[in-house]
Amino acid sequence: MRSHTYQDLIRYVKFYEINEVKIPYLGAEGLIELKHNSYRAKDQLDVQTLKVLLSNEANQSPIEKSGIVSSLKKWLKSFFNN
């Protein structure tokens, strides 16, 4: 994992926005790139899990990918949890 530089991984950076503040994080593809040559069993498990998640995401419809469904579920739960 030490052989990667910031420049190697910058293309995998994603942003999560909260209250108009963009928070950078390394996306799944970047984590796979970072961990795929690791000897640690935990890292290898992470790589396998991330690949499955990416595969599942690729099979989602555009509306599921947009996050609308997830946001709607959270919004609906707020009514039933109060």
Nearest to 33 by CA among 76, 4, 59, 73: 4
- Does a structural domain hold residue 33? yes
Distance of alpha carbon 36 from alpha carbon 46, whole angstroms:
9
- Does a structural domain hold residue 68? yes
- Does a structural domain hold residue 1? no
Question: How many percent of the chain have pLDDT more than 90?
Answer: 39
- Does a structural domain hold residue 47? yes
Distance of alpha carbon 26 from alpha carbon 29, whole angstroms:
8
- Does a structural domain hold residue 16? yes
For the stretch 26-55, pLDDT in tens is 999 999 999 999 999 999 999 999 999 888
Distance of alpha carbon 19 from alpha carbon 33, whole angstroms:
30
Indicate the number of domains in the chain: 1
Domain region containing 12: 6-80
- Does a structural domain hold residue 44? yes
